Amino acid sequence: MPEYLTQEQIDKFNRDGYLVIPSFLSQDQATELLQRSKDLLDQFDPETHPKTKFTTGDDDHVGDDYFLSSGDKIRYFLETDALDSDGKLNREKQKAVNKIGHGLHELDPAFRRVTLENESLRSIARDLKFHHDPVALQSMVITKQQQIGGEVPEHNDSTFLYTDPPSALGCWIALEKCTPSNGALSFLPGSQKTTSITKRFVRLGNGKGTGFEALVSPEEEKVVQGLSKGQQDKYVMETCEPGDMVLIHGSVLHKSERNTSPNTRFAYTFHMIESPPYAKYDEKNWLQPTKEMPFSRILPAGETVAF
Protein backbone atom coordinates (compact mmCIF):
# COMPACT_ATOMS: atom_id res chain seq x y z
CA MET A 1 0.00 0.00 0.00
CA PRO A 2 1.25 3.53 -0.74
CA GLU A 3 2.51 5.50 2.25
CA TYR A 4 1.74 9.08 1.13
CA LEU A 5 0.33 9.16 -2.39
CA THR A 6 -2.94 7.55 -3.39
CA GLN A 7 -2.95 4.97 -6.17
CA GLU A 8 -4.91 7.47 -8.26
CA GLN A 9 -2.11 10.02 -7.85
CA ILE A 10 0.52 7.45 -8.79
CA ASP A 11 -1.47 6.48 -11.88
CA LYS A 12 -1.89 10.13 -12.86
CA PHE A 13 1.85 10.76 -12.60
CA ASN A 14 2.60 7.71 -14.72
CA ARG A 15 0.02 8.77 -17.31
CA ASP A 16 0.67 12.52 -17.51
CA GLY A 17 4.33 12.76 -16.50
CA TYR A 18 3.65 15.20 -13.69
CA LEU A 19 1.56 15.44 -10.55
CA VAL A 20 0.44 18.40 -8.44
CA ILE A 21 0.44 17.52 -4.73
CA PRO A 22 -1.60 20.14 -2.85
CA SER A 23 -0.25 21.39 0.48
CA PHE A 24 2.90 19.25 0.47
CA LEU A 25 4.32 21.93 2.73
CA SER A 26 2.26 23.67 5.37
CA GLN A 27 1.67 27.39 5.07
CA ASP A 28 4.19 27.94 7.87
CA GLN A 29 6.82 25.88 6.05
CA ALA A 30 6.23 27.70 2.77
CA THR A 31 6.41 31.06 4.54
CA GLU A 32 9.66 30.06 6.24
CA LEU A 33 11.28 29.14 2.92
CA LEU A 34 10.00 32.30 1.26
CA GLN A 35 11.44 34.45 4.04
CA ARG A 36 14.72 32.55 3.95
CA SER A 37 14.88 33.13 0.19
CA LYS A 38 14.41 36.86 0.71
CA ASP A 39 17.08 36.84 3.42
CA LEU A 40 19.50 35.24 0.96
CA LEU A 41 18.68 37.95 -1.59
CA ASP A 42 19.46 40.58 1.04
CA GLN A 43 22.86 38.93 1.55
CA PHE A 44 23.69 39.06 -2.17
CA ASP A 45 26.73 41.27 -2.83
CA PRO A 46 26.70 42.52 -6.44
CA GLU A 47 30.21 43.96 -6.07
CA THR A 48 31.76 40.49 -5.77
CA HIS A 49 29.54 38.88 -8.41
CA PRO A 50 30.74 38.08 -11.96
CA LYS A 51 27.35 39.16 -13.36
CA THR A 52 26.43 35.65 -14.45
CA LYS A 53 23.02 35.51 -16.13
CA PHE A 54 20.90 32.41 -16.60
CA THR A 55 18.64 31.16 -19.38
CA THR A 56 17.22 27.76 -20.32
CA GLY A 57 17.02 28.53 -24.03
CA ASP A 58 19.22 26.83 -26.61
CA ASP A 59 21.52 29.83 -26.94
CA ASP A 60 23.54 32.01 -24.58
CA HIS A 61 23.98 29.41 -21.85
CA VAL A 62 26.15 30.34 -18.95
CA GLY A 63 29.45 28.55 -18.94
CA ASP A 64 31.77 30.37 -16.60
CA ASP A 65 33.34 28.86 -13.52
CA TYR A 66 30.92 30.66 -11.21
CA PHE A 67 28.13 28.55 -12.69
CA LEU A 68 30.04 25.31 -13.25
CA SER A 69 31.37 25.18 -9.69
CA SER A 70 28.08 26.10 -7.99
CA GLY A 71 26.89 22.58 -7.17
CA ASP A 72 28.24 22.67 -3.62
CA LYS A 73 27.66 26.37 -3.01
CA ILE A 74 24.91 28.98 -2.69
CA ARG A 75 25.26 31.38 -5.60
CA TYR A 76 23.19 33.96 -7.43
CA PHE A 77 22.25 34.06 -11.12
CA LEU A 78 20.78 37.17 -12.72
CA GLU A 79 17.81 37.84 -14.96
CA THR A 80 18.85 38.52 -18.55
CA ASP A 81 17.25 41.99 -18.40
CA ALA A 82 18.83 42.98 -15.08
CA LEU A 83 22.04 44.50 -16.49
CA ASP A 84 22.52 47.68 -18.47
CA SER A 85 24.87 48.06 -21.43
CA ASP A 86 27.78 48.68 -19.05
CA GLY A 87 27.15 45.48 -17.11
CA LYS A 88 25.71 47.28 -14.08
CA LEU A 89 22.52 46.30 -12.31
CA ASN A 90 19.63 48.38 -13.59
CA ARG A 91 17.40 47.66 -10.60
CA GLU A 92 17.72 46.90 -6.90
CA LYS A 93 19.62 43.69 -6.27
CA GLN A 94 16.65 41.82 -4.77
CA LYS A 95 14.79 42.22 -8.07
CA ALA A 96 17.75 41.37 -10.31
CA VAL A 97 18.25 37.72 -9.34
CA ASN A 98 16.71 34.94 -11.45
CA LYS A 99 17.68 32.09 -9.17
CA ILE A 100 19.79 31.03 -6.19
CA GLY A 101 21.56 27.67 -6.41
CA HIS A 102 22.66 24.95 -6.44
CA GLY A 103 23.55 23.55 -3.01
CA LEU A 104 20.68 24.84 -0.87
CA HIS A 105 19.47 21.34 -0.02
CA GLU A 106 22.74 20.55 1.76
CA LEU A 107 24.02 23.91 2.94
CA ASP A 108 20.99 25.81 4.21
CA PRO A 109 19.17 24.31 7.23
CA ALA A 110 15.70 25.50 6.18
CA PHE A 111 15.94 23.97 2.72
CA ARG A 112 17.71 20.88 4.02
CA ARG A 113 14.80 20.11 6.34
CA VAL A 114 12.38 20.12 3.43
CA THR A 115 14.61 18.07 1.14
CA LEU A 116 16.86 15.65 2.99
CA GLU A 117 15.12 15.46 6.37
CA ASN A 118 11.56 15.10 5.12
CA GLU A 119 9.81 11.81 5.84
CA SER A 120 6.95 12.71 3.49
CA LEU A 121 9.40 13.01 0.61
CA ARG A 122 10.90 9.63 1.47
CA SER A 123 7.41 8.13 1.43
CA ILE A 124 6.76 9.64 -2.00
CA ALA A 125 10.00 8.12 -3.28
CA ARG A 126 8.84 4.72 -2.06
CA ASP A 127 5.32 5.15 -3.46
CA LEU A 128 6.35 6.42 -6.88
CA LYS A 129 8.89 3.66 -7.56
CA PHE A 130 10.66 5.98 -9.97
CA HIS A 131 14.13 5.34 -8.50
CA HIS A 132 15.67 2.43 -6.66
CA ASP A 133 18.12 4.69 -4.81
CA PRO A 134 17.32 8.38 -5.40
CA VAL A 135 19.86 11.11 -4.77
CA ALA A 136 19.36 14.87 -4.81
CA LEU A 137 21.96 16.55 -6.99
CA GLN A 138 20.88 20.18 -7.18
CA SER A 139 18.46 22.67 -5.69
CA MET A 140 17.51 26.26 -6.35
CA VAL A 141 15.14 29.07 -5.55
CA ILE A 142 13.62 30.55 -8.69
CA THR A 143 12.34 34.08 -8.08
CA LYS A 144 10.51 34.78 -11.37
CA GLN A 145 10.79 38.51 -10.78
CA GLN A 146 7.85 40.80 -11.42
CA GLN A 147 7.74 42.33 -14.91
CA ILE A 148 11.11 40.87 -16.00
CA GLY A 149 10.88 37.23 -14.88
CA GLY A 150 11.91 35.54 -18.10
CA GLU A 151 10.04 33.00 -20.17
CA VAL A 152 11.26 29.42 -19.75
CA PRO A 153 10.81 27.76 -23.14
CA GLU A 154 9.62 24.21 -23.70
CA HIS A 155 12.13 21.70 -22.36
CA ASN A 156 12.53 18.51 -20.38
CA ASP A 157 14.76 18.19 -17.34
CA SER A 158 16.68 15.08 -18.39
CA THR A 159 18.29 17.18 -21.13
CA PHE A 160 20.02 19.21 -18.43
CA LEU A 161 20.57 16.45 -15.84
CA TYR A 162 21.30 13.47 -18.03
CA THR A 163 21.75 9.90 -16.90
CA ASP A 164 21.87 6.67 -18.87
CA PRO A 165 19.08 5.64 -18.84
CA PRO A 166 17.34 8.99 -18.20
CA SER A 167 16.14 9.22 -14.60
CA ALA A 168 15.69 12.87 -13.60
CA LEU A 169 12.72 13.74 -11.40
CA GLY A 170 11.94 17.34 -10.48
CA CYS A 171 10.28 18.44 -7.25
CA TRP A 172 8.95 21.98 -7.70
CA ILE A 173 7.42 23.67 -4.65
CA ALA A 174 5.46 26.91 -4.89
CA LEU A 175 6.42 29.43 -2.21
CA GLU A 176 3.97 32.02 -3.54
CA LYS A 177 0.71 31.85 -5.44
CA CYS A 178 1.37 30.85 -9.07
CA THR A 179 -1.04 32.31 -11.61
CA PRO A 180 -1.34 32.64 -15.40
CA SER A 181 0.08 36.17 -15.23
CA ASN A 182 3.14 35.52 -13.05
CA GLY A 183 4.47 32.42 -14.78
CA ALA A 184 2.65 29.29 -13.60
CA LEU A 185 4.03 26.08 -15.08
CA SER A 186 2.45 24.46 -18.14
CA PHE A 187 2.82 20.81 -19.14
CA LEU A 188 2.22 18.66 -22.21
CA PRO A 189 0.57 15.65 -20.55
CA GLY A 190 1.91 12.29 -21.62
CA SER A 191 4.82 13.74 -23.58
CA GLN A 192 7.29 11.74 -21.48
CA LYS A 193 6.07 8.70 -23.44
CA THR A 194 6.42 10.24 -26.89
CA THR A 195 9.35 12.67 -26.61
CA SER A 196 12.79 11.12 -26.47
CA ILE A 197 15.81 12.89 -25.01
CA THR A 198 17.50 14.16 -28.18
CA LYS A 199 20.39 16.14 -26.67
CA ARG A 200 22.16 16.72 -23.40
CA PHE A 201 23.64 19.78 -21.73
CA VAL A 202 27.38 19.23 -21.21
CA ARG A 203 30.68 20.82 -20.28
CA LEU A 204 32.54 21.56 -23.49
CA GLY A 205 35.98 21.52 -21.88
CA ASN A 206 39.04 23.65 -22.61
CA GLY A 207 37.41 26.66 -21.01
CA LYS A 208 34.62 26.77 -23.58
CA GLY A 209 31.82 26.60 -21.04
CA THR A 210 28.68 24.61 -21.79
CA GLY A 211 26.69 23.49 -24.79
CA PHE A 212 24.52 20.72 -26.16
CA GLU A 213 25.62 17.31 -27.38
CA ALA A 214 23.32 15.56 -29.84
CA LEU A 215 22.02 12.12 -28.89
CA VAL A 216 20.12 11.50 -32.14
CA SER A 217 20.55 12.43 -35.78
CA PRO A 218 19.43 15.87 -37.04
CA GLU A 219 16.59 14.15 -38.87
CA GLU A 220 15.33 12.49 -35.69
CA GLU A 221 15.64 15.80 -33.84
CA LYS A 222 13.38 17.47 -36.42
CA VAL A 223 10.79 14.72 -36.05
CA VAL A 224 10.68 15.15 -32.26
CA GLN A 225 10.46 18.94 -32.55
CA GLY A 226 7.65 18.57 -35.05
CA LEU A 227 5.67 16.36 -32.67
CA SER A 228 5.72 18.98 -29.92
CA LYS A 229 5.03 21.91 -32.25
CA GLY A 230 1.86 20.22 -33.37
CA GLN A 231 0.59 19.87 -29.80
CA GLN A 232 1.01 23.35 -28.33
CA ASP A 233 -2.75 23.63 -27.88
CA LYS A 234 -2.68 20.57 -25.61
CA TYR A 235 -0.53 22.20 -22.92
CA VAL A 236 -2.16 22.39 -19.49
CA MET A 237 -1.34 25.26 -17.12
CA GLU A 238 -1.21 24.34 -13.44
CA THR A 239 -1.82 27.20 -11.03
CA CYS A 240 -0.54 26.53 -7.51
CA GLU A 241 -0.93 27.75 -3.97
CA PRO A 242 2.01 28.22 -1.59
CA GLY A 243 3.14 24.81 -0.35
CA ASP A 244 1.90 22.84 -3.36
CA MET A 245 4.52 20.56 -4.92
CA VAL A 246 4.68 19.44 -8.54
CA LEU A 247 6.48 16.19 -9.35
CA ILE A 248 7.98 16.46 -12.84
CA HIS A 249 9.09 13.44 -14.89
CA GLY A 250 12.48 14.15 -16.46
CA SER A 251 11.15 13.55 -19.98
CA VAL A 252 7.85 15.46 -19.82
CA LEU A 253 7.77 18.71 -21.79
CA HIS A 254 6.98 21.81 -19.75
CA LYS A 255 7.44 25.56 -19.84
CA SER A 256 6.44 28.82 -18.19
CA GLU A 257 5.63 32.22 -19.62
CA ARG A 258 7.25 35.54 -18.77
CA ASN A 259 6.08 37.14 -15.54
CA THR A 260 4.13 40.19 -16.67
CA SER A 261 2.46 40.77 -13.30
CA PRO A 262 3.41 43.07 -10.40
CA ASN A 263 4.02 39.98 -8.23
CA THR A 264 7.01 37.68 -7.87
CA ARG A 265 6.63 33.91 -8.22
CA PHE A 266 9.11 32.35 -5.82
CA ALA A 267 9.51 28.58 -6.01
CA TYR A 268 11.93 26.07 -4.51
CA THR A 269 12.90 23.22 -6.78
CA PHE A 270 15.29 20.32 -6.51
CA HIS A 271 16.05 17.34 -8.70
CA MET A 272 16.70 13.69 -8.01
CA ILE A 273 18.34 11.07 -10.20
CA GLU A 274 18.97 7.34 -9.95
CA SER A 275 22.20 6.08 -8.41
CA PRO A 276 24.66 3.52 -9.80
CA PRO A 277 24.39 0.71 -10.72
CA TYR A 278 20.86 1.55 -11.86
CA ALA A 279 21.91 4.57 -13.95
CA LYS A 280 25.14 6.26 -15.01
CA TYR A 281 25.87 9.94 -14.40
CA ASP A 282 29.09 10.81 -16.19
CA GLU A 283 31.75 13.50 -16.21
CA LYS A 284 30.25 15.27 -19.23
CA ASN A 285 27.39 16.71 -17.18
CA TRP A 286 27.72 20.38 -16.29
CA LEU A 287 27.00 19.67 -12.62
CA GLN A 288 29.55 17.46 -10.90
CA PRO A 289 29.63 16.09 -7.35
CA THR A 290 32.60 17.04 -5.23
CA LYS A 291 34.55 15.21 -2.56
CA GLU A 292 33.20 17.69 -0.04
CA MET A 293 29.60 17.32 -1.23
CA PRO A 294 28.68 14.14 -3.09
CA PHE A 295 25.11 13.75 -4.27
CA SER A 296 22.73 13.43 -1.32
CA ARG A 297 20.78 10.24 -0.60
CA ILE A 298 17.05 10.67 -0.05
CA LEU A 299 16.39 7.33 1.64
CA PRO A 300 18.00 6.13 4.88
CA ALA A 301 21.39 4.44 4.54
CA GLY A 302 21.08 0.94 3.15
CA GLU A 303 17.48 1.31 1.96
CA THR A 304 16.48 0.96 -1.69
CA VAL A 305 13.10 0.74 -3.42
CA ALA A 306 12.28 -2.60 -5.00
CA PHE A 307 10.23 -2.69 -8.21
Condensed to tens digits (0 to 9), the pLDDT of residues 155-214 reads: 999 999 999 999 999 999 999 999 999 999 999 999 999 999 999 999 987 777 889 999
Write down the mean pLDDT value for the chain: 92
Residue-number span of the structural domain to which 239 is assigned: 7-285
User: 129's torsion region: left (phi>0), alpha (psi -120 to 50) or beta?
Assistant: left
CATH number at residue 160: 2.60.120.620
Could you tell me if residue 291 is inside a domain?
no
Could you tell me if residue 292 is inside a domain?
no
Could you tell me if residue 299 is inside a domain?
no
Could you tell me if residue 218 is inside a domain?
yes
35-44, 90-99, 157-166, range with the lowest pLDDT? 90-99
Q: Say yes or no to pLDDT of 225 above 50.
A: yes
Q: Of residues 63 and 267, which shows the higher confidence score?
A: 267
Overall average pLDDT of the 245-274 stretch: 96
Overall average pLDDT of the 296-301 stretch: 97
Q: Say yes or no to pLDDT of 259 above 60.
A: yes
pLDDT of the residue at 53 = 52
Could you tell me if residue 204 is inside a domain?
yes
Could you tell me if residue 205 is inside a domain?
yes
Could you tell me if residue 290 is inside a domain?
no
pLDDT of the residue at 61 = 47
Q: How many domains does the chain have?
A: 1
pLDDT of the residue at 52 = 59
Could you tell me if residue 305 is inside a domain?
no
Q: How confident is the model at residue 101 (pLDDT cuts 50, 70, 90)?
A: very high
pLDDT of the residue at 246 = 98
